[in-house]
Amino acid sequence: MRDRELAKKRAKELVAKMSLEEKASQLKYDAPAVPGLNVPAYNWWNEGLHGVARAGVATSFPQAIGMAAAFDKDLMKEVGDVVATEGRAKYNAYSSLEDRDIYKGLTFWSPNVNIFRDPRWGRGHETYGEDPYLTGELGKSFVEGLQGDGEYMKAAGCAKHFAVHSGPEADRHHFDAVASKKDMRETYLPAFEKLVKEAGVEAVMGAYNRTNGEPCCGSKTLMQDILRDEWEFQGHYVSDCWAIRDFHENHMVTETPEESAAMALKAGCDVNCGNTYLHMLSAYNKGLVTEEEITLAAERLFTTRFLLGLFDETEYDKIGYDKIECEEHLKLADKATAEGIVLLKNNGILPLKKSELKSIGVVGPNANSRVALVGNYHGTSSRYITVLEGIQDETKDEGVRVYYSEGCHLFRDRVEHLGWRQDRISEAVAVAKNSDVVILCVGLDETLEGEEGDTGNSYASGDKTDLLLPEVQRELIEAVCKVGKPVILLNMTGSAMDLRYAQEHADAIMQVWYPGARGGKVVAKMLFGEISPSGKLPITFYNDTEELPEFDDYSMKGRTYRYLESAPLYPFGYGLSYGDVQVETVTYCKTKVELSQKDAEIAYDGHDGLSVTVELQNRSKVATEEVVQVYIKDTKSAHATTAAKLCGFDRVSLGAGEKKTITVTLDKDAFTVINDEGEKLVDGDRFELSVGLGQADARTKELTGKESIKFIVLR
């Protein structure tokens, strides 16, 4: 039932039949059954970041940051739909067995639409990158796919972590993220607003930290003033896990669990992931909360359950177990992997030609690692295909010898006590000497970048202290490159790294991210030219941390492509291809502009709609996909971002030599800026638009050899 008013009415009628104790019991994430009313137990905690997670076998998609690199809204909607389908299949199977435990419900605590403002943040790979517009568009599509458009909600999405949250992980339980009104409205809030107002996301999760002094799971400013009053959010609010306990134990804004429970409930937190709401009745008895407040939270939660059809027969009840990790879903996962891999450098060595190779060396700690395939918040796959296995499968009938060496472990602490660190590097050198080309697989995994306290992490905090690969890997890279054989470096990380040595010494570099459980198959096909790379960076790759502000400084000054004041190693939106696609012309407000017409001026009359028509041509003999990107800069306003900001994009497929015309629709807020008071306004009358395959900046031109078509719009 998508009729929220009817669902609210049914929820109100049901909750009215409950005792105060029963209503309070429903505000915990592991809500117990209410037998007298035929209400089964329900566990609100489920994860679906890049496939159904922690609930057994499911289709494994690339980590979220890898899917973001596809710049593909349609793909994200399909992925969301697959998560919902497999979630329903599991729910149907488990509930028929009366198993209603954790990770078996239909309320998925995804997507993570926090802004990846600093490359040191360990959880950044859970996000869609550093740009609010890209994050909002992709998050919106994912939620639309997840929640569906049927008579009932297929699954419930959750926008997290509201609202200013991106490390440091080690400090999150007591940290206060201080952000200006401008940064709040320009960077940290827009994606959440889009998911609430345009995607109708059913849930919002608060963050552990405080924002401007208020705990995010008890913030009247965030939860009531902005989320419910301003944005008119109608769904339910959930705390991050055990975050409410932090109110009295770490933030010190309350003194007792009862006070913390009351603070969260009064601000609008409906369900507690944790145990602080076990004190809710005690808080009631002390006069800290009212029965009406408890009732309202319970009604919101049951509204969601009615919208999901959990008390009715629905069109989703027939989704069978055969939909889990089915062939159709696995093909979509392969597509997502292929679209997200970013080719950072290629001196012409790629694609490899099997007929010209007798031997390939596959080297590195991530070459045969299953852990490096999946990122965090992942499910289980019935099969894993590492990069080594993918290359072996791809060449097994070609008479090509594949040599392998782990080279080193992921980081030194794992190997020093074993005493054979240099022996492994020597093996890697021997492999390189006996190979025609070396595929060098380095990077991180969830044990080195991830969430504080998460079971996958080796240390309490999953943040990075710098952008360098672990020292033992740097030694491996240098040793292999010094052999003198062609080297293709595959970087398997969820964040930006310092790849300056590889940029100088390797023949090609691919940013592979965490490509999904079977991602090695797609990587191999791309290396050998069956697939052309088409991913674009959703984050900036910096040279080092010297050009960045302090990690715990939440001001956007000097951060991300919009405010960066120096040349990056690789810019946001950048990515190479095996093809040669060129933007030929751009038509805006019935005026056609070519590359040669720099700074052409076009008067915008406000009646033709915010869209640009783009003519492209693939000048090569290689079929490929590309991402058209549109950026805008208010050249007159003092409130404009330092660099032009992304305001539109579209992915397009072009055959060899093919020409194609597409239309990119610009966001209605493209011409607006945010002033220091956090107000959105049109503040100028002269705007520079650029349309190309990346930013219209000097570094992109230097790396790609291509320019964007730029013109001036006058209002």
Residue 221 to residues 128, 214, 268: CA-CA distances in angstroms? Answer: 25, 8, 11
User: What is the reported pLDDT for 458?
Assistant: 46
Q: What percent of the chain has pLDDT over 90?
A: 93
pLDDT at 416 over 60: no
pLDDT, tens only, 444-460: 999 999 998 765 554 44
pLDDT, tens only, 552-591: 999 999 999 999 999 999 999 999 999 999 999 999 998 9
Helices 519-527 and 387-395: crossing angle, nearest 10°?
Answer: 50
Q: What percent of the chain has pLDDT over 70?
A: 97
CA distance 651 to 639: 30
Specify the residue for token string 């069978």: 320
Tell me whether the omega of the peptide bond preceding residue 372 falls within 30 degrees of 0, making it cis.
no
pLDDT at 697 over 50: yes
pLDDT at 414 over 60: no
Residue 447 tokens, joined: 């044990």
Dmax of the chain from CA atoms?
80
Residues of the chain with CATH 2.60.40.10: 581-714
CA distance 420 to 407: 10
CA distance 476 to 442: 9
pLDDT average, residue stretch 360-381: 97
- What secondary structure letter does DSSP report for 630? E
pLDDT average, residue stretch 116-132: 98
- In this prediction the pTM is 0.97
240 assigned to active site:
yes
User: What is the reported pLDDT for 599?
Assistant: 81
Q: Which residues of 70-91 are buried (b: 16+ CB within 10 A; e: fewer)?
A: bbbbebbbbbbbbbbbbbbbbb
pLDDT, tens only, 21-38: 999 999 999 999 999 999
User: What is the reported pLDDT for 607?
Assistant: 63
User: What is the reported pLDDT for 598?
Assistant: 80
pLDDT, tens only, 307-364: 999 999 999 999 999 999 999 999 999 999 999 999 999 999 999 999 999 999 999 9
User: What is the reported pLDDT for 473?
Assistant: 96
User: What is the reported pLDDT for 40?
Assistant: 98
User: What is the reported pLDDT for 344?
Assistant: 98
pLDDT average, residue stretch 201-227: 98
Specify the residue for token string 């072009």: 654
130, 240, 246, 507: which is the annotated catalytic residue? Answer: 240
pLDDT, tens only, 65-92: 999 999 999 999 999 999 999 999 999 9
For residues 481 and 442, the answer to whether their CB atoms sit within 8 Å is no
pLDDT, tens only, 605-623: 776 678 999 999 999 999 9
Tell me whether the omega of the peptide bond preceding residue 351 falls within 30 degrees of 0, making it cis.
yes
For residues 31 and 90, the answer to whether their CB atoms sit within 8 Å is no
The three-class DSSP label of residue 183 is helix
User: What is the reported pLDDT for 457?
Assistant: 52
Instruction: Give the residue ranges of DSSP H helices in 642-714.
Output: 698-704
Residue 526 tokens, joined: 């791309």
413 assigned to active site:
no
CA distance 31 to 14: 15
Residues of the chain with CATH 3.20.20.300: 4-322
Domain 581-714 in CATH 2.60.40.10? The answer is yes
Indicate the pLDDT class of residue 181, thresholds 50, 70 and 90: very high
Domain 341-539 in CATH 3.40.50.1700? The answer is yes
pLDDT at 508 over 50: yes
Indicate the pLDDT class of residue 604, thresholds 50, 70 and 90: confident
For domain 4-322, give its CATH number from 3.40.630.10, 2.40.110.10, 3.40.50.450, 3.20.20.300.
Answer: 3.20.20.300
pLDDT at 417 over 60: no
User: What is the reported pLDDT for 424?
Assistant: 87
For residues 664 and 630, the answer to whether their CB atoms sit within 8 Å is yes
Residue 384 tokens, joined: 């894993």
CB atoms within 10 A of CB 671: 22
Triad 560, 562, 565: Cα angle to 5°: 80
User: What is the reported pLDDT for 140?
Assistant: 98
Residues of the chain with CATH 3.40.50.1700: 341-539
CA distance 678 to 672: 12
446, 449, 650, 697: which is the annotated catalytic residue? Answer: 449
Indicate the pLDDT class of residue 419, thresholds 50, 70 and 90: low
The three-class DSSP label of residue 660 is strand
In sequence order, the 6+-apart residues with CB closer than 8 A to the CB of 119 are 464, 467, 495, 496, 497, 539, 540, 541, 542, 548
pLDDT average, residue stretch 158-172: 96
pLDDT at 188 over 50: yes
For residues 253 and 247, the answer to whether their CB atoms sit within 8 Å is yes
Distance of CA 278 to the CA centre of its chain: 33
pLDDT at 292 over 50: yes
